[in-house]
Chains A and B, each alone.
Chain A
Amino acid sequence: MALPLKPILSALRHHRLTAALLTLQVALTCAIVINAGFLLVERIQRIDTASGLVEDELSVVSARGLDESANAAAQQRTDLAALRALDGVKAAAAINGGSLPLSSNIDMSGACASQADFDRAKAARDTRGIAGCISMSLYSGSDGMLEALGLRLLAGRDFTAAEREADKITAVIVSRTLAQRLWPGESPVGKQLYGFEGPVPVVGMIADILSPVLGIGVDDHMVMLTARNRAEISSTYVLRSAPQDRQRVMHAAAAALDKAGPVRLIPEDGQRTYSQIRRNYFQRDTTMLGLLLASSLALLFVTALGIGGLANFWVGQRTRQIGIRRAVGATRRDILRHFQTENFLIVGAGVVLGMLLAYGLNQLLMRQYELDRLPLFYLPIGAAVLWALGQLAVLGPALRATRVPPAIGTRGG
């Protein structure tokens, strides 16, 4: 059956300004909600990035040494022995500089696949833009680090004790992404990497893990493990245990470190499960996520109330007209359809305008805040959401309209 467009359009013409305002409101809501939704999805993806570690089995304890004359290497051995002896600890290792994925303590370096590339990078004071060179984040620690962090060795071997105790970096293990980037299609094991401490052999390759800070390099998985273990009087230990044991193991570890060796500070905020480290790193994103979600829902809510409120008024205003239409043979279905179609048209105009606005807003955000381009499929999704919302909001008033008895139309006054 053909939609009764003519009476609807003529009714809308009576409320040109109101209908235009509602259209504008829908358009603005549409534009903001589409962009907010896009930001929302981006943040969720960011927060969900896997670190590559066995996250739910890890906890971290930091001890700050106070005695600068202490023998750090001996202390580390004693500490590790004590930690590994704890009930529930499956593996433990010292992590140099407290540097872990998402820990924010970053140690970066540049290296190249050949000496010539490195010389060029050095002359340019920058590894960016030099072919065959890349900057990466470095991790290092004591023996047992691979096992404690749950790193998977894809090729080659772990470092030897001699390599760890050397004064310089004498061996490195690269992440898969880094290997792909430096030597595409080849195995990195046995290759030489040219960096600030001369050429170093690559002895292994691990599955990807994240950098301590995201978004500063070309890829967050450009990571290298270096062999040299720098024991320092302030140290960070990572413990691996069953997920449910983490809290207990962490506190037991802090107590054990407190007893072992000279006076040290083990602050409360130096005892964290890896989940806390992750939560902490993404704190701002989580806040923004909540804000975006809350404001999108509030916007949709206000718009739905606006649509509903106006429809209610129109129903009240047109009671007599509705009665007359009913009296001359319009069914309840026709009345319902009238209000639904009217809403469909208003929201439709708003959505078309809104999609244009959404695109414009995205352009503005891209320029101001270096955001990505809005994928086009967000536009129809946003349109569908608003259309559904409009139909839902108008349903109540429209149903009320269908209950207007035909007799109203014949009554005077």
Chain B
Amino acid sequence: MIAYYLRLALRSLRRTPVMTALMVCAIGLGIGASMTMLTVLHVMTQDPIPSKSGVLFYPTLDPLPSDYQTSTWGNPADNLTWPDAMALLRQGKPARQAVMAGGGLLVWPLDAAGRPTEHGGRYTTWQFFDLFGVPLEHGGGWTAADDAQQARVVVLGRDLAMKLFGSTDVVGRSVRLKDTAFRIVGVAAPWSPQPRFYVDLGGGRSFGEADDFFLPLSTAMGLQFDISGNRSSWAETDMQDKLRSPSMTWLQMWVELDTPQQVADYRRFLHDYAAQEHASGRFQRDPDTARLYPLMDWLGHKKLVPSEVQLQLWLAIGFLVVCLVNIVALLLAKFLRRGGEVGVRRALGARASDILLQLGCEAALIGVAGGVLGTVLAQLGLWSVRRRPDGYARIAQMDASMLMASVALAILATLLAGLIPAWRASRISPALQIKAV
């Protein structure tokens, strides 16, 4: 029966080709625009590390003076000061933990005559690789002893290793970073969670490329390497040792807590630490301002979706709604005009539900065609998004789930849009129509 209705639908659509093309175009444009923006939103808010996001937590303290006013630049308390990060690292007992900051360095080629190139990487502590499950192609991370001794060891990213040596099997060899020679202890396989949840988020750093190198934070401090990311200071500090100042935040910290008990324990530990610093007079704010964010909550707190992307999404959805209203009106006009045909079929014994099904098929057919067109347009849209210079733009790819979602949305939208007209048409009284014919 459905096959018959589909044939009828095809014939009916072919009778009014301009109208059909118009409806398919409208739904295609609406679906294309909204799926483009939904996909962008999807990649911006996805879980960057599904295997571990449930056990990773981000602790924050609030060492700011009580009269400090946060501005649109962001809250300095989202990062940690050096003394606090080191104290948490020493005193806390999570399963794994790491303190980190971003940095940019000149990396020198092997031949002395060549020019160096600038690369971005991470200064961190030894458990970083285990904490996040960073896969290593060769070698391994470094040890707690390396951290303590400010050892000159480095883990290179795969791309940088290939660029420098043409090979990834380079453990034990040496590389010159800025003005210092480092021993390579490991080479990391490509690892680039998106959003880059572990970095100092915001300012265009939330999405983008993988880190090119990882080296001990203590070593970077010792050699006074450049830090990238926000540094917020709220008191006049000793210029010589700004990074170690108790009144400048710049570090990120992540801890792994595997059970609810561990989470509760760590939360208490964090509160106790804040209370102790409050009692000593260093923290002016209530110890309750100390927080332990689960990973996804942390991403929500940092609001990674720029308002312009939200605005574009609303614009696209508004466009889709207008397209749908347009289709409802056109289908309604079209179906009601066929009162004669419907009347004859009803008089011959078709039930109202048969009519509904027949016209529903016609609406669905338009939906499928519109969905296909919309998916193509969305790919075009995403291609144009990828050409934008923003960090998130490059990862704007449609995965299988989004692809299915867009076709489903197209069919659902047109079915809904077709339902009202079809229902109206199916209620046409047969007697009246036949009389008119």
A176 to B65, CA, bound (A): 36
Residue of B65, B316, B323, B329 with most partner-chain A CB within 10 A = B329
Q: Is the CB of B318 within 8 A of A216?
A: no
Q: Is B390 at the interface (CB under 8 A from chain A)?
A: yes
Q: Is the CB of B322 within 8 A of A216?
A: no
Residue of B65, B69, B315, B389 with most partner-chain A CB within 10 A = B315
A17 to B106, CA, bound (A): 69
Q: Is the CB of B337 within 8 A of A317?
A: yes
CB nearest to A215 among chain B residues: B72
A103 to B112, CA, bound (A): 34
- List A contacts of B242 (CB < 8 A): none
Which residues B170-192 have CB closer than 8 A to chain A? 179
Please, what's the 1-or-0 string for A280-319, where 1 marks a CB less than 8 Å from any CB in chain B? 0001100110011001001100110110011001101100
Known A302-B323, A313-B334; judge A32-B318 contact (CB<8 A).
Answer: yes
Q: Is A125 at the interface (CB under 8 A from chain B)?
A: yes
Known A32-B318, A295-B319, A369-B307; judge A309-B115 contact (CB<8 A).
Answer: no
Q: Which of A22, A283, A295 contacts B316 (CB 8 A)?
A: A295
Q: Is the CB of B22 within 8 A of A287?
A: no
A126 to B328, CA, bound (A): 57
Q: Is the CB of B22 within 8 A of A32?
A: no
The interface residues of chain B, by DSSP majority, are classed as helix
Q: Is the CB of A284 within 8 A of B322?
A: no
Known A263-B115, A302-B26; judge A288-B322 contact (CB<8 A).
Answer: no
* Contact-size category for A: 35 or more
The interface residues of chain A, by DSSP majority, are classed as helix
Q: Is B332 at the interface (CB under 8 A from chain A)?
A: yes
A124 to B321, CA, bound (A): 50
Q: Is the CB of B315 within 8 A of A291?
A: yes
A28 to B329, CA, bound (A): 14
- How many of B's residues come within 8 Å of A, CB to CB? 44
Which residues A231-285 have CB closer than 8 A to chain B? 263, 265, 283-284
- List A contacts of B282 (CB < 8 A): none
Residue of A17, A265, A283, A292 with most partner-chain B CB within 10 A = A17
A261: shortest Cβ distance to chain B, in Å? 15
A284 to B316, CA, bound (A): 17
Q: Which of B67, B311, B319, B420 contacts A125 (CB 8 A)?
A: B67
Q: Is the CB of B332 within 8 A of A18?
A: yes
CB nearest to B420 among chain A residues: A17
Q: Which of B68, B69, B72 contacts A216 (CB 8 A)?
A: B72
B427: shortest Cβ distance to chain A, in Å? 12
Q: Is B388 at the interface (CB under 8 A from chain A)?
A: yes
A61 to B326, CA, bound (A): 54
Task: Name 4 extra pairs, CB < 8 A, besides A64-B118, A306-B26.
Answer: A21-B325, A216-B72, A302-B323, A369-B311
Please list the residues of chain B having a beta carbon within 8 angstroms of any beta carbon in chain A. Answer: 18-19, 22, 26, 29, 33, 65, 67-69, 72, 106, 115-116, 118, 179, 234, 307-308, 310-312, 315-316, 318-319, 321-323, 325-326, 328-330, 332-334, 336-337, 388-390, 420, 424
Please list the residues of chain A having a beta carbon within 8 angstroms of any beta carbon in chain B. Answer: 15, 17-18, 21-22, 24-25, 28-29, 32, 36, 64, 66, 68, 124-126, 216, 263, 265, 283-284, 287-288, 291-292, 295, 298-299, 302-303, 305-306, 309-310, 313-314, 316-317, 365, 368-369
**Cβ-closest 6 pairs across A and B:** A21-B329, A306-B326, A25-B325, A313-B333, A32-B318, A28-B322
